[in-house]
Structure 1
Amino acid sequence: MAHDPQELLKRLFGAAVDSADPAKTVARHLPERPRGRVVVVGAGKSAAAMARAVEAEWSDVTGVVVTRYGHAVPTRNIEVIEASHPVPDQAGADAAQRILAAVRGLGPDDLVLALISGGGSALMTAPAPGLTLADKMQVNKLLLASGAPISMMNRVRRRLSAIKGGRLALAAAPAKLVTLAISDVPGDDPLAIASGPTVHDPEADADLSDVAQMLGPDLPEAARRLLLEAPEPLPAFEADYRMISTPLLALQAAAEIAKAAGVTPLILGDAIEGEAAAAGQVMAGIARSAALHGLPVTGPAVLLSGGETTVSIGAAKPGKGGRNTEFLLALAVALDGLPGIHALSGDTDGIDGSEDAAGAIITPDTLARARAAGLDPRAVLAAHDSYSLFDRIGDLVKTGPTLTNVNDFRAVLIP
């Protein structure tokens, strides 16, 4: 391979992130200016960057958005609130009430511009009647520990919310509402991005009794009742929902960089879910087949994929890690030093889980270097302590907050 593998992997990751930069995408999707006021609201890891991009085009707008701590950027008139992710906090609850207040009392000539991106579900927290913020925090902790797919998490969050599942849109009526969204979910389902605050929820009356049982005895009683009881139906409405960046577009951007470098890209999918370690084992099988047999692609090539895996930690106290570093460590263990294969996996928001790295890189000698540092890769994987291993051998990828989020990016280079 003519290019340095690690340098090329970082360029591919950079292209994926750059494709979802709000400064380059928001302006193309703005609606016509209304006769009345423009009120901007939003939630997510990209909310502040999106708000700044709106202000670059429309100077006389007001509003409020909430983003993750460390993800704020300067804006002129749109207020930016920072809150906790992935477990909600009081700042996020206060922000949700400020957002609801901002959209109430508007008329049909006014426009509410909703800026929605990944992470908005935890950041914009408005407990349903009868629930407390402490209840919501406990439910989120249980969901994160359960290993439940993001679709199930969002279904629960919508049921337990006073703002998600279309309730923000209903509060904004009769003003016109346009949503600009950056997708971070498999399949780009608007209902799943930040738990769909501006789209109708056809699953509002879904039976969630199995989820209540799965979350066990630590589920707050008020939340259990809401999951078991059939809710009142919400009125249906039409949504002007504009997807401005998606995981597939990010993978395609990376594929173009690979082609220019003389490497054949193979996009395996943008919606890969399941346990991170299991995904790493499966990807190792595909990479091994490609390297040894030229199937499903002949090298030099790169296997590209996106989506959101999960890490089920169970009752044991986990080490430091995220789904991307866990995927990579499982991939390295399964490859067992197969020559020539390098890989990068990272969260496009720049934060893998709750640590300070976007992800990491593996090389053919990752396991050897880890063992030389006194680490047992299999034991580290079992302890969900992958961050510590990559930190020790110097292979973490640190970008800082990227102010966007199109979910995870995985690239496996085949010689």
Structure 2
Amino acid sequence: MPGLNAVIAGATLAALRASWEVVGVHDGFDGVLFPEEYADGGVMSLDRRAAEALPIAGSALGTGARRDPFRIRAVTADNAVKEVDRSDELLARLSEAGVKAVIAVVGGSAITGSHAMSVAFRLHRKGLPIVCIPKSVENDIAVTSLAFGYDSALGYATDALDRIRAAARDVRRLAVVEVPGAEAGWLALQAGLAARADAVLIPEIPYDIPSVARMLRRARDEGHPPSLVVVAQGATSREAPGEAAAPVSGLRKSLSPLSDLRFGEGGRVIDRSGAVAEALALELQRSCDIETVPLNLDHLVRTGTPSALDRQLGLAYGAGAVDAIEQGRPGSVMAFQPPHLGSVPLAEALNRVRRVPLDGDLVRTAAAIGLCLGHDKGAGHER
């Protein structure tokens, strides 16, 4: 995630100025529960020199397994898989190490993201002073207008879409490009607008294949061959606005703790990215008689060198979390509502998603320039 090291540096430098001792735990709480898996015992000391030496890109603490301390999977003596609550053990180990408060970086509505916030909330209710910092390349965390990482992802996605659109136009093909956005279409819509896509499909507006196909055929007939359709990962069609959860066998649940129940068995059980672009490209090729190419930008926009804004925002979030602890506001999540950075109770952020407003400026702009949003309304084509 772009900007993670900026958050670590901001929190470390602010905490050191408050005369705190700072340590970093690898991969969420895994470094505490599974110290044997790390060369440094799962915990690294953070001083001023270490903070200032952090590279701009990447994460010094990792974003790996991040297992749920309330549901750690273990194998019994008879080779059965069961889930064990090790949260009390986690709290005991943190207490033994002298940890007085925790700053946790949590994601948005993705499976591991929303779950990480709920885990933090449950640990706080068991007595752990914790402040969360929101990260999301989908910008879908309800309590903040801008999660760190989003600005960088938007820049990466726009640059990639520019290149893809140019290449697709040269070879007279239609690129169907999927970007992150399981619950909200901010990244798809803003990057799609910036790259002058022919259509953008987002979770907030169920799309209609015949309507999209008509727009694409009309553009082609008018001498403007369409070249780019951007689709958010969570976009759904009007014909199938929601997908029923698949029954979960005990074996699959044991082997795939992070599985997405909406996608049944097979290769998409854990990682659904790319599935929507593949299905949509096939449907559009059948409906439009245009050769389509499905592409997926998911993991490409989740890493890299952070933008200047994300570097500043990361530092501010880290320092702000330290201030929230000093001011006696544990059990909270940092919230940026320009121009103010503050905190709100964790309970206000749980089970909520920041979605694109259908009466907002982005949707109105799309309609005004003829960008198709998945239905006939505003499905014109302007070049």
| TM-score when normalising by structure 2 | 0.38
Q: Which structure has the higher relative contact order (CA within 8 Å, separation 6+)? A: 2
